[in-house]
Structure 1
Amino acid sequence: MSFHAVDQRLPLVRQAAFGLQHVLIMYTGCITVPLVFGAAVGLDKSTVALLISADLLIAGIITIIQSLGVGKLAGARLPIVCGATFAGLTPMILIAKEYGLQAVYGSMLAGGLVGLALAVPFARLIRFFPPLVTGVVLTVVGISLIGVAAGLIVGNDPTADGFADPGNIMLAGVVVLVAIAFLCLGRGIWTQLGVLLALVIGTLVAIPMGLIDLGGVSGSPWFGITAPFHFGAPEFPITAVVAMSIVMAVVFAESTASMLALGEITGKPLTKGDVARGLVGDALSGVLGGIFNAFVDTIFTQNVGAVATTRVHSRYVTATSGAILIVLGLIPKMGTVVAALPAPVVGGVGIILFSTVAVVGMNTLRKVDLSDRINTTIVAVSVGIGLLPEFAEGMFEHFDSSARILLGSGITLAAISAFSLNLLFNHTRIGAAARAASAPVIATEPVPPISEEPHVAARA
């Protein structure tokens, strides 16, 4: 019996090696989300360590579900590696500051349940989330998070003694330069691991600077699992639930694009059922993340690139990656070590990762006909509206607290704007009429020969 390359098993050693490579490629991006979230809301290192362990555990579970599938219910059965999405970071920070951590995980849980209900309909309505919409959202996600990376490097309190410390800025600069060296000059796996190696080298440089405190490592256990609802009974503020539901829709659009790309790379045609089951996997990450204090997961595009580069298409390889992530998530001591990473090092890595997300968004927008004035207007307006809260901090501070959660997230504003304008102008008669009205009028009178009126003909 012949198998598709996606369904073939590799020898155990090769399968483990390629699975570990996938983990190393995505690891930095995965742990950056809990590190940035913890720093932004002022969590202590032990709590951040807990979030890291939960993050890796849920990422591993969802990766296995997406790779192997759960009957006809969930999983795209493709070589997929999942991890925490940056799209949910800003809304989670806003919710935490306004309502507390119980609301963060309650709204994530509710958003996951909404996602479960919408997975099948969304797979059928994917045409309403073209590159015009996803490109705008990804661009705004990346740009808006650069401010978060800056806060990790220089601090968020201008009155603090260590604010904008030159040593911290130089350390972040070292991290960026090391990453550039590996990413641009490296070969093979060294290029793929460039950001992770920059993180490690930056941490080593930070040791003599006295920026690392490993005091909590010895007291953390070698084995453990995050208790459900660690921060207390979940709470469900309506605005927070709406915000996380929008995040889930953004994740759906992003993951759908990745699944379609994997279908092309592996040569396995995807049905709407395959896409729907993949989206169910994303929604389950919201449900499990809300219960176990983790984060909403998406398909990591860097791992999609690794599948294309290595030409190893087996979904059992990525299932092995999921198993490795689960093991890492069950080792609290590992989370404690990661939580001790200096903020400037994480900020330096964040600059690269967040900017890369923005570049992915720009690359997605290249698929859009931007010579069309309506498409150009949709992109310009949506990006502009999405970045307003980032460049005018506090512009919505006089609004109701509930409204601030939605309006204060540029990602949410960009998603709503791009989706609504695209729906209005590209899926109704309004846009068709506008394009028809602006179409050039074709002359009906004979045009003089080129030889007689060269300049007129050239202008025409």
Structure 2
Amino acid sequence: MEEPCTPQPHPVDQRPAWGALLLLGAQHVLVMYTGSIAVPLLFGAATHLSHATVTLLIDADLLVAGVVTLLQSVGVGRVLGVRLPIVAGAGFSAVSPMILIAQQYGMAAVYGAMLAGGVFGVLVAAPFARLVRYFPPLVGGTVITVIGLSLLGVGTQMVAGDDPSAPAYAAPVRLLLAGGVLALIVVVMRLSRGFLGQVAVLVGLVAGTVAAVLLGQAHFSEAAGASWVGLPEPFHFGAPHFPVAAVVSMCVVMLVIFTESTASMLAVAEMTDRSLTTGDLARGLAADGLSGVLGGVMNSFPDTVFGENLGLVEMTRVRSRWVTAVAGALLIVLGCVPRLGSLVAMLPDPVVGAAALVMFAMVAGVGIRILRHVDFEGTSNLLIVAVSLVAGMVPVTAPHIYDRLPAGARIVFGSAITCTAVCAFGLNLLFNHVPRRRTGHRTAP
């Protein structure tokens, strides 16, 4: 008598062997690490914070990102977490509003407003999730495409440098390192079909770092000065303040983050062949809202789904959420062990930038693939995509074009992702959901 076959769990729920799990999780961390710490570095520079304070922000950022990544991957009952292979990290949507709040009201108001915005996000997560029908492939594909395209400049800047007048800008050795990493990733992906192909980005990062050390382009001595163990200090800037204008700004930012995360979660669900219910989406958005609460307490930043890791899932086809759960655990360790975090932060920019360029381009490719499901014949959908792309790429090609607008307008128009999301969402409503008025003219008999 034949024994009944045990149904195989969905690939999202399967757990690889522990060795593979650790390596794949570490690959996710290395891919997103530099992009994640870029947010506190940028914010710290704009608000003239000391090096010690910026280090605290980085540790807090990694700790909160790790907690939210764990929640998104593993989930907490019917309350938190989308249970998909997602890595969360500090997005750039909140940086400009936070800088403006810091300049006008002070640092205590920044984190008071973030705390209030996080509570708002947790409360509106379920109602926002019910709007998922207004995020068809037309909207989601356009937003995901612009996420990838808008970040290409960040990767290029990491490879070449951020100061065109500097002697080392786009130096041949930097371009050689980046080109070598790109070529190695492609070769490993082409020649290996097994586990080695799944960790191709990790292979490129390790080999590129070794090459950079040999060429004198990487130095890790400064990491020795960091402490081994340390937790970020809650409410480092004092008791939080809640100016009304600052709170409203951060609530708007949270809605923008929800729009971005909704598109990303729908994209991951499609990549992994996992159906995404309204409840799943609500739990995922609630975790994003919780990141604002934790960020307000721990001096961090609101988190969103990281595009680099979305591209990594597409590239490696490793769909297990337990891989990203391990990545979340590693981020928590990095946040609590400043010396390890400092060591990873010193990976050479050209090497990390080359890997990031691949991931960002993969994200854009995912968005284009999603747009394949859109019906362009006899509709205005092509116009919607075109105008949304224009709206999103303008602040990328001309970063200072909206500097003279009021602060509230800069929150929307100054971010490529925000601008695209608002434009695609609004135009989709206008053309595909609002009924057209009849002219009232009769056809002649």
TM-score, normalised via structure 1 length: 0.78
Corresponding residue to 2:141 among 111, 135, 138: 135
Corresponding residue to 2:293 among 270, 287, 291: 287
Corresponding residue to 2:264 among 251, 254, 260: 254
Letter matched to residue 21 of structure 2: G
Supply the distance in 1 between the matched residues of 2:39 and 2:296 (Cα, whole angstroms). 15
| Identical-residue share of aligned pairs (%) | 39
Asked if the contact 1:150/1:347 (under 8 Å) is kept, the reply is: yes
- The alpha-carbon deviation at position 176 of structure 1 amounts to 1.9
Supply the distance in 2 between the matched residues of 1:331 and 1:73 (Cα, whole angstroms). 30
Local SS of the residue matching 2:394 = helix
Local SS of the residue matching 1:217 = helix
Supply the distance in 2 between the matched residues of 1:68 and 1:191 (Cα, whole angstroms). 26
**Structure 2 residue 387 is the aligned partner of structure 1 residue 381:** yes
- The alpha-carbon deviation at position 234 of structure 1 amounts to 5.8
Structure 1 gap segments, 5+ residues each: 435-460
Local SS of the residue matching 1:207 = helix
Asked if the contact 2:74/2:322 (under 8 Å) is kept, the reply is: yes
Asked if the contact 2:139/2:425 (under 8 Å) is kept, the reply is: yes
After superposition, the C-alpha distances for 1:359-387 in whole angstroms (9 at most, x for unaligned) are 11111111111234401000000011110
Letter matched to residue 434 of structure 2: T
Asked if the contact 1:30/1:55 (under 8 Å) is kept, the reply is: no
- Which residue in the other structure is 1:82 paired with? 87
- The alpha-carbon deviation at position 217 of structure 1 amounts to 1.7
- The alpha-carbon deviation at position 301 of structure 1 amounts to 3.5
- Sort the Cα spacing of 1:72 and 1:169 in 2 relative to 1 into closer, same or farther, 3 A: same
- Sort the Cα spacing of 1:350 and 1:397 in 2 relative to 1 into closer, same or farther, 3 A: same
Q: How does 1:107-146 map to 2 (within 5 A)?
A: 108-146=114-152
**Structure 2 residue 193 is the aligned partner of structure 1 residue 184:** no
After superposition, the C-alpha distances for 1:112-135 in whole angstroms (9 at most, x for unaligned) are 333212211122221001111111
**Structure 2 residue 252 is the aligned partner of structure 1 residue 242:** yes
- The alpha-carbon deviation at position 280 of structure 1 amounts to 1.6
Supply the distance in 1 between the matched residues of 2:313 and 2:79 (Cα, whole angstroms). 23
- Which residue in the other structure is 2:168 paired with? 162
- Sort the Cα spacing of 1:347 and 1:41 in 2 relative to 1 into closer, same or farther, 3 A: farther
Supply the distance in 2 between the matched residues of 1:81 and 1:39 (Cα, whole angstroms). 23
**Structure 2 residue 9 is the aligned partner of structure 1 residue 5:** yes
- The alpha-carbon deviation at position 250 of structure 1 amounts to 1.5
**Structure 2 residue 310 is the aligned partner of structure 1 residue 301:** yes
Supply the distance in 2 between the matched residues of 1:381 and 1:10 (Cα, whole angstroms). 41
After superposition, the C-alpha distances for 1:268-293 in whole angstroms (9 at most, x for unaligned) are x6643333223322322333234332
Supply the distance in 2 between the matched residues of 1:419 and 1:111 (Cα, whole angstroms). 22
- Which residue in the other structure is 2:350 paired with? 344
Q: Which has the larger radius of gyration?
A: 1
Supply the distance in 2 between the matched residues of 1:8 and 1:249 (Cα, whole angstroms). 23
Supply the distance in 2 between the matched residues of 1:149 and 1:318 (Cα, whole angstroms). 22
- Which residue in the other structure is 1:199 paired with? 205
Supply the distance in 1 between the matched residues of 2:98 and 2:172 (Cα, whole angstroms). 30
Letter matched to residue 310 of structure 2: T
After superposition, the C-alpha distances for 1:109-166 in whole angstroms (9 at most, x for unaligned) are 4443332122111222210011111111111111111122222222333333333333
Q: CA RMSD in A?
A: 3.6
- The alpha-carbon deviation at position 308 of structure 1 amounts to 6.4
Local SS of the residue matching 2:216 = coil
Supply the distance in 2 between the matched residues of 1:8 and 1:344 (Cα, whole angstroms). 33
Corresponding residue to 2:30 among 28, 31, 43: 28
Letter matched to residue 281 of structure 2: V
Q: How does 1:49-448 map to 2 (within 5 A)?
A: 50=56, 53-76=59-82, 78=83, 80-84=85-89, 88-89=91-92, 91-95=93-97, 98-100=100-102, 102=107, 108-230=114-236, 237=246, 238-239=248-249, 241-259=251-269, 262=272, 264-265=273-274, 271-292=277-298, 293-298=300-305, 300-301=309-310, 319=325, 322-430=328-436
Local SS of the residue matching 1:84 = strand
Supply the distance in 1 between the matched residues of 2:329 and 2:293 (Cα, whole angstroms). 20
Supply the distance in 1 between the matched residues of 2:67 and 2:38 (Cα, whole angstroms). 22
Asked if the contact 1:92/1:104 (under 8 Å) is kept, the reply is: no
Supply the distance in 2 between the matched residues of 1:178 and 1:230 (Cα, whole angstroms). 43
Supply the distance in 1 between the matched residues of 2:348 and 2:237 (Cα, whole angstroms). 25
Letter matched to residue 377 of structure 1: L
After superposition, the C-alpha distances for 1:207-263 in whole angstroms (9 at most, x for unaligned) are 23433332332222222222234566667734454234312321133224434665x
- Sort the Cα spacing of 1:226 and 1:130 in 2 relative to 1 into closer, same or farther, 3 A: same
Asked if the contact 2:24/2:199 (under 8 Å) is kept, the reply is: no
Letter matched to residue 34 of structure 1: S
Letter matched to residue 27 of structure 1: V
After superposition, the C-alpha distances for 1:19-78 in whole angstroms (9 at most, x for unaligned) are 3244134223321322433565575887666555444433432343334433432234x3
- Which residue in the other structure is 1:37 paired with? 39
Asked if the contact 2:12/2:84 (under 8 Å) is kept, the reply is: no
Supply the distance in 1 between the matched residues of 2:169 and 2:325 (Cα, whole angstroms). 44
Question: Which deviates further from its counterpart, 406-415 or 301-310?
Answer: 301-310
- Sort the Cα spacing of 1:42 and 1:7 in 2 relative to 1 into closer, same or farther, 3 A: closer
Asked if the contact 2:140/2:266 (under 8 Å) is kept, the reply is: no
Supply the distance in 2 between the matched residues of 1:390 and 1:317 (Cα, whole angstroms). 33
- Sort the Cα spacing of 1:79 and 1:137 in 2 relative to 1 into closer, same or farther, 3 A: closer
Letter matched to residue 251 of structure 1: S
Supply the distance in 1 between the matched residues of 2:361 and 2:13 (Cα, whole angstroms). 36
- Sort the Cα spacing of 1:63 and 1:152 in 2 relative to 1 into closer, same or farther, 3 A: closer
Supply the distance in 1 between the matched residues of 2:110 and 2:31 (Cα, whole angstroms). 21
- Sort the Cα spacing of 1:229 and 1:200 in 2 relative to 1 into closer, same or farther, 3 A: farther
Supply the distance in 1 between the matched residues of 2:116 and 2:81 (Cα, whole angstroms). 20
